[in-house]
Amino acid sequence: MIVAERKPFEEIKELVKEYKKVLVAGCGTCVAVCLTGGEKEVDILKTELDMARRMEDNPVELRGHTIERQCDREYLEAFDSMVGDFDAILSMACGAGIQFLAERFPQIPVLPAVNTTFIGVNQGIGWYEERCRSCSNCVLGDTGGICPVTMCAKGLYNGPCGGTNKGNCEISNDQPCAWFMIYERLEKQGRLDCITRFTPAQNWENQVPRTLIQPGYKKPEKQ
């Protein structure tokens, strides 16, 4: 899932300081799972903003609404009848959702309330870890299912580097060395040949905005 982190309150307050009527838009998918931008977090942010603005004698009218997914047109529709009443939308979705919302309502400022952080996994309640940088050229098949782009601090394809430290990465003793793990796993699987081969320079495909159209689906018409 996509993991995001809420922006510091001060920053959010600053973003909306000019506006008197703000719609706080939550998203019920990834950011809700990582406890950042779902219904409950919308509620908290709304309450905070309400109190803070009252404290400053500059009250703001707030409404919260959370939809299933902000990255999906089908659900965004729910906002159509709502947005006319507001002078800004504060979105708690990931960067993709925020942009899709902004694209749908180009006449209204759409502002981010979260920092989109990574694609990751759920290690426990409230604990998420990054696992993928969406490089467009997955090499997990050769690296024992451990991503060298994400998990190695230098994104090496032919690691480990000289800094690997008793199984840890040179950047910190709390960060396991990806290449140490890759070696260990492939050794157990008897597949070390996967990394004895030289891996040539990567063709980076994530340097331009990417589009995917599945076979049999023509490009959706812009609305």
| Contact residues: ligand SF4, CB under 6 A | 132-135, 138-140, 147, 149-150, 152-154, 156, 159-161, 163-164, 169-170, 177-179
Residue 43 or 199: the one with the smaller Cβ distance to ligand SF4 is 199
Query: Binding of other proteins at residue 158 (CB under 8 A)?
Result: yes
Helices (H), 57-94: 73-76
CB of 197 to ligand SF4, least distance (A): 16
Coil, helix or strand at residue 161:
coil
- Tokens 């709502």 sit at which residue? 82
CB of 140 to ligand SF4, least distance (A): 5
User: Among 50, 49, 103, 92, which Cα is nearest to 67's?
Assistant: 92
Residue 40 or 73: the one with the smaller Cβ distance to other proteins is 40
If contact means CB under 5 to 8 A according to the sort of partner, which of ligand SF4, other proteins, none does residue 184 touch?
other proteins
If contact means CB under 5 to 8 A according to the sort of partner, which of other proteins, ligand SF4, none does residue 99 touch?
none
Nearby residues of 112 by Cβ (< 8 Å), 6 or more positions away: 7, 15, 90, 91, 95, 98
Residues 66 and 62: their CA atoms lie apart, in Å, by 13
Task: Count the residues of the shown chain that bind other proteins, applying the rule CB under 8 A.
Answer: 45
Residue 201 or 212: the one with the smaller Cβ distance to other proteins is 201
Residues 143 and 197: their CA atoms lie apart, in Å, by 11
